[in-house]
Amino acid sequence: MKQVKPVHVMQTQFSTVEGELQLGGMSIRRLAQRVGSTPFFAYDRQAMTNRVAHVRSHLPREILLHYSLKANPMPAVVQHMAGLVDGLDVASGGELKIALDTPVTPAKISFTGPGKTDAELAQAIAAGIVINLESAGELRRIDRLANACGVQANVMVRVNPDFELKSSGMKMAGGAKQFGVDAEQVPALMKELAAANVELHGFQIYSGSQNLKSDAIIEAQTKTFELALALSADAPVTPRLINIGGGFGIPYFPGELPLDIAPIGQHLQYWVNQLATRLPGMRIATEMGRYLVGEAGVYITRIVDKKMSRGQVFLITDGGMNHHLAASGNLGQVIRKNYPVVIATKMYPDVKEVTSITGPLCTPLDLLADRMELAHADVDDLVAVFQSGAYGLTASPTDFLGHARPKEIVV
């Protein structure tokens, strides 16, 4: 039985010339030749620049904007973002190295994440970056390592609040969590902190990711500021920074609409004014990954075979879930939905057909498009998967089945 899946709102941020998708001012076929092999990920510099400008045009001027490398740690992407944002957030020693290779000053780099090893903490202390503390145990290790290094460590306390960011793709706070210190444990931690070889810079309260509802984000931000005010009243020193997280999502699936950030900006202006009187000198930072780079990236893969099985058309490509786990539906999705996929070499098709696109792996999980109505395509046509600039390659099992790693380019 042929059942056609719902179609997407067409992606329009990349242009089409003579029926071919253009990336970086070049037709996709020519770009593939320039790269030298398929599959590959291409990240559009201008799209990243435009997105940061869009965020800044809506957020109050006083708010610091940080980029989370976790979303896309490709060094050339990070170098580009480093010139646009006010700080970088890393989540491992590997990401720390990439961040330290940029011109961003160490004081504007923060390190978040559970399970930081002693080796990573020692690196972070020596580098002089800010460590977002995840537990009392971590504080004790930082204290010991800072003494051994002969310097004071810079820390923020990552707080696990007693609320969550509603309707998020991923909830990272509220209830019992491995992230951060439970809000009710923070006062006790602060006593310990006062005696340790650390300098407290402030609080990080990160409650969720991939949210498309401005109302939900605004509600969580209000609770975040209220909590930060309460915690600051108990702090041994007046904190200088509140990192309120991000949570800004991008649309991936049919029916999803872009997040409206204008009301979020207006609401933040209210809090900027509040803090100016209630906690003078306190800065506010927001950190995000996906929203800044997700829409700037495209995954390109080549059709190597076309076959028909019991009435269903299959296009088989040279890359799939091994490079792009999220697009295959296997990175945390409960119900598999199609990412925005097109035949990039036939953008204005005369003939369409209902097609499934699979990667080359020997598993039925390796699916890029499930019964989508797409251009009638053949071997050697190129497939583009949009919304692939965040949580793409580095969130994928590249070694699974031993295919070559795809290239990544910035255009």
Ligand X SMILES: *Cc1c(COP(=O)(O)O)cnc(C)c1O
The residue ranges that bind ligand X (CB under 6 A) are 68, 70-71, 89, 112, 172, 206, 209-210, 245-246, 287-291, 390
Are the CB atoms for 264 and 276 separated by under 8 Å? no
Q: Which is nearer to ligand X, 112 or 356 (CB)?
A: 112
Q: Which is nearer to ligand X, 259 or 288 (CB)?
A: 288
Rg of the chain over all Cα atoms, to the nearest angstrom:
23
Dist. CA 131–CA 143, nearest whole Å: 12
Residue 147 beta carbon to ligand X: minimum distance, rounded to whole angstroms: 27
75: Cα within 13 Å, side-chain hemisphere: 9
State the DSSP string of 263-281.
HHHHHHHHHHHHHHHHSTT
How many other C-beta atoms lie within 10 A of the C-beta of residue 119?
Answer: 10
Dist. CA 341–CA 338, nearest whole Å: 8
Are the CB atoms for 240 and 280 separated by under 8 Å? no
Q: Which is nearer to ligand X, 220 or 377 (CB)?
A: 220
Residue 319 beta carbon to ligand X: minimum distance, rounded to whole angstroms: 23
State the DSSP string of 25-86.
TEEHHHHHHHH-SSSEEEE-HHHHHHHHHHHHHHS-TT-EEEEEGGG---HHHHHHHHTTSS
Place of tokens 């696990």: 160
Q: Looking at 59-168, list the stretches that DSSP marks H as alpha helix, in order from N- to C-terminal side.
A: 75-82, 93-100, 118-127, 136-149
Residue 155 beta carbon to ligand X: minimum distance, rounded to whole angstroms: 15
Amino acid identity, position 214? S
Residue 58 beta carbon to ligand X: minimum distance, rounded to whole angstroms: 16
- What backbone torsions phi and psi does residue 390 show, to the nearest 5 degrees? -130, 145
Residue 53 beta carbon to ligand X: minimum distance, rounded to whole angstroms: 17
Give the residue nearest to ligand X (CB): 289
Q: Which is nearer to ligand X, 70 or 108 (CB)?
A: 70
Residue 395 beta carbon to ligand X: minimum distance, rounded to whole angstroms: 10
Dist. CA 17–CA 7, nearest whole Å: 22
Residue 256 beta carbon to ligand X: minimum distance, rounded to whole angstroms: 15
Place of tokens 């949580």: 391
**Among the listed residues 330, 340, 325, the one whose alpha carbon sits nearest the alpha carbon of residue 373:** 340
Residue 294 beta carbon to ligand X: minimum distance, rounded to whole angstroms: 7
Instruction: State the DSSP code for 132.
Output: E
Encoded tokens for 71: 């979303």
Q: Which is nearer to ligand X, 98 or 344 (CB)?
A: 98
Q: Which is nearer to ligand X, 89 or 120 (CB)?
A: 89
Residue 35 beta carbon to ligand X: minimum distance, rounded to whole angstroms: 26
Q: Which is nearer to ligand X, 287 or 381 (CB)?
A: 287
Residue 245 beta carbon to ligand X: minimum distance, rounded to whole angstroms: 6
Q: Which is nearer to ligand X, 160 or 209 (CB)?
A: 209
Q: Looking at 201-300, list the stretches that DSSP marks H as alpha helix, in order from N- to C-terminal side.
A: 214-234, 262-278, 290-293
Q: Which positions ≥6 away from 287 have C-beta within 8 Å? A: 65, 66, 67, 68, 87, 89, 110, 206, 243, 245, 246
Residue 77 beta carbon to ligand X: minimum distance, rounded to whole angstroms: 13
